[in-house]
Amino acid sequence: MATVTNPIRQQAGPPSEALARRYAETRALSLALVASLSDADATAQSMPDASPAKWHLAHVTWFFETFVLRDHLPGYRLFDERWPFLFNSYYEAEGARHARPQRGLLTRPSLDEAIAYRAAVDAALLKAMPTLAERCGDLIELGLNHEQQHQELLLTDLKHLLSRNPLGPAAWPVQPVLQACGAEPSPSRWREGPAGLVEIGDRGDGFAFDNERPAHKVHLTPFALADRLVTNGEWLRFMADGGYASAGLWLSDGWAWVQAEAIESPLYWRRTGDGWEHFSLSGWQPVDLAAPVTHISFFEADAYAGWAGARVPTEQEWEAVARSGDPAGGVQLDAAGPVAPLAEQGEGGWSSMFGNVWQWTGSAYRPYPGFRTAPGAVGEYNGKFMSGQFVLKGGSCATPRGHVRASYRNFFYPHQRWQFTGLRLAKDL
C-alpha cells in the first residue's frame, strides 16, 4: 500500500508469522478484559463520552473486517451486512452510523454474538495472513494499535460505568499491592531538561501514528521538570487550602466548569468519616497518599500548577526529557485484572515518565509543520480532531505495555477526566 493511502509510515512489514502472533495476542487480551463481565455489564453506557464494552469489542473487529478483509481479500463476505451501521465510530467515508450517545441501547447483538463476530473475523484474517501481511501489513499493524487504544478505553469506560452503581461493584478483586496506602514519598525535586534546539516527533523505523509526524526541530528555553508525578497527598493539601474555591487559580473556562459541575475533588473521590476514598476497578478503596493523583482535568492540572508556583509542561519539553526513558517501563497494562496508579519515587532521574497516568501538557493538539491527512477513510483517524483539545503524554496503568513511545500524542478536551490523567510539574529556569 502506498504511503498516501494510510496514516502510518510505509515500511517493510514483519514476517507474517510474527504479525499473526501479535494479532492473536492483542485480540486475546481484549477477550480477557471482558471475561468476568455479564451481558448487562458489557451493554450499558454510562455517558456519551463512554462506550459499552461490547461495542468496543465489535468496533475494533469492524475495523479489521472493513479496512483489511473487505478491501484487501477478494471474495470476502461481511459477517452481517447490518453491523457496519452499528459499529462504525466516526468514519464519514463509511456512511451512516448509529448515534454515539445511544450505543448503550444496543441490547442486541448480545455479548456472545459480538464474541462470535470476533472469532469469525479472526479466522478469516489469520487464514489469509501470509497474503494480507504482504498486501497491507501496515494496515493490520494500525488495526492492532487501534485495538490497544480501545483496550484502555474499555477499562476506563467500565470503571465509569461501575462507579455509577450504588453498590460499588468490583470488576476484579483487589490485589494487596493496590490496596496498601503508603506514606507520602519525599518531596519532588527539580531536574533540568534539555534546552536549545531539539527534535520532536517520530523518525524511527517502527510503527507511528500520522499525528506524530513529521519529526521537526523546536527551540526550548531552559526549563525543569519535577522528578515524579503529583501525588494524592499533595492534591489533598491543594484541596485543604481552598484550591477548588479560589477563582484566581483557575482559567475562566475552568472556573465556569467548577461552578457548573460543583467540582471539589478529582473524579471518583468521595468523603468518608475520616478522610477520602476513591472508586477503582476493585470497588471503593482508601485514597493512597503516595500514589499519583489521577482522573483530573486539564483545568484542574493548570489550577494546581499555579497554586504550587509552577506550570504545566509543554508537549515539547516532556518529549525532550522522555526520549531518554524506556517506553515499555513503568506501571502499564500486562494482563486482565485490577489496574491502578502506584507510587514510584525518582532515583536520580525522572520516575513514571511512562505508565501510571497520562500526563497533561499545556500544548494544544494541533498538526506538526508539514502534516498531511491521508486520503480515504483511515485518514479520518487523527487529523480531523485537531481542534480544541490538549495533548497528554506517557501512557497510563491501563495502557497496554509496548503501545506508547516518547512521540505518542494522546488528546482530550480540557474538562474530560474519566481517563487515567495526572500531572507532572514544570518551571522555567
If DSSP states are collapsed to H, E and C, what string results for 58-110? Answer: HHHHHHHHHHHHHHHCCCCCCCCCCHHHHHCCCCHHHCCCCCHHHHHHCCCCC
pLDDT tens-place string over residues 214-246? 999 999 999 999 999 999 999 999 999 999 999
pLDDT class of 205 with cuts at 50, 70, 90: confident
Assign a CATH topology to domain 3-163.
Four Helix Bundle (Hemerythrin (Met), subunit A) (1.20.120)
- Distance of alpha carbon 338 from alpha carbon 53, whole angstroms: 16
pLDDT of residue 179: 52
What the block records as the C-alpha cell of 280 is 477503582
Are the C-beta atoms of residues 276 and 236 closer than 8 Å to each other?
Answer: yes
Q: Which residues pair with 83 in a beta bridge?
A: none
Indicate if the pLDDT at residue 181 is higher than 60. Answer: no
Is 333 exposed, middle or buried, given 0-12, 13-18 or 19+ CB atoms closer than 10 A?
Answer: buried
**Residues 55-106: pLDDT tens digits?**
999 999 999 999 999 999 999 999 999 999 999 999 988 999 999 999 999 9
pLDDT at residue 122 tops 90: yes
pLDDT band, residue 11 (cuts 50/70/90): very low
pLDDT category, 9, cuts 50, 70, 90? very low
pLDDT at 298 over 60: yes
Q: Phi first, then psi: give them for residue 285, nearest 5 degrees.
A: -135, 150
Give 339-389 pLDDT, tens digit per residue: 999 987 666 789 999 999 999 999 999 999 999 887 776 787 888 899 999
Domain(s) labelled CATH 3.90.1580.10 in the chain stretch across 176-428
Q: 409: which 3 cell numbers? A: 500524542
Q: At what angle do helices 129-163 and 16-34 cross, to 10 degrees?
A: 20
- Which whole number is the average pLDDT over 107-127? 98
Q: Tell me the three cell numbers of residue 131.
A: 497474503
Contact 192, 350 (CB under 8 A): no
Which pLDDT belongs to residue 349?
82
Is residue 362 within 8 Å of 414, Cβ to Cβ? no
Nearest C-alpha neighbor of 250 from the set 232, 240, 238, 233: 238
Cis peptide before 15 (omega within 30 of 0): no
Q: According to the model, what pLDDT value does residue 4 have?
A: 27
Given this model, what pLDDT does residue 378 score?
Answer: 72
What would the mean pLDDT of 282-302 be, rounded to a whole number?
Answer: 96
Task: Please give the grid coordinates belonging to residue 271.
Answer: 468523603
What pLDDT does residue 380 have?
Answer: 75
- What pLDDT shows up at residue 202? 95
Taking a C-beta distance cutoff of 8 angstroms, is the pair 170, 282 a contact?
yes
Segments of the chain assigned to CATH 1.20.120: 3-163
Lowest mean pLDDT among 101-115, 148-162, 197-211: 197-211
* Nearest CA among 177, 159, 180, 156 for reference residue 168: 159
Q: Which residues pair with 200 in a beta bridge?
A: 216
Strand order across the 223-226 sheet: 190-192, 223-226, 426-428
At 273, is the pLDDT very low, low, confident or very high (cuts 50, 70, 90)? confident
Query: How far apart, in whole angstroms, are the C-alpha atoms of residue 115 and residue 277?
Result: 35
pLDDT for res 184: 75
Rounded CA-CA distance 390/423 in Å is 13
Pairing of strands 426-428, 223-226: antiparallel
Q: What is the mean pLDDT of the chain?
A: 92
Give the pLDDT band (50/70/90) at residue 12.
very low
The mean pLDDT value for 279-287 works out to: 95
Domain 176-428: CATH superfamily, name plus number: paralog of FGE (formylglycine-generating enzyme) (3.90.1580.10)
- Report pTM: 0.94
| Structure confidence by residue, pLDDT tens digits, 397-427 | 999 999 999 999 999 999 999 999 999 999 9
Given this model, what pLDDT does residue 381 score? 81
Model pLDDT, residue 178: 52
What is the 3-state secondary structure of the chain? CCHHHCCCCCCCCCCHHHHHHHHHHHHHHHHHHHCCCCHHHHHCCCCCCCCCHHHHHHHHHHHHHHHHHHHHCCCCCCCCCCHHHHHCCCCHHHCCCCCHHHHHHCCCCCHHHHHHHHHHHHHHHHHCHHHHHHHHHHHHHHHHHHHHHHHHHHHHHHHHHHHCCCCCCCCCCCCHHHHCCCCCCCCCCEEECCCEEEEECCCCCCCCCHHHCCCEEEEECCEEEECCCCEHHHHHHHHHCCHHHCHHHCCHHHHHHHHHHCCCCCCCEEEECCEEEEEEECEEEECCCCCECCCCCHHHHHHHHHHCCCECCCHHHHHHHHCCCCCCCCCCECCCCCCCCCCCCCCCCCCCCCCCCEEEEEEECCCCCCCCCCCCHHHHCCHHHCCCCEEEECCCCCCECCCCCCCCCEEECCCCCCCCEECCCEEEC
Residue 123: all three cell numbers together? 479466522
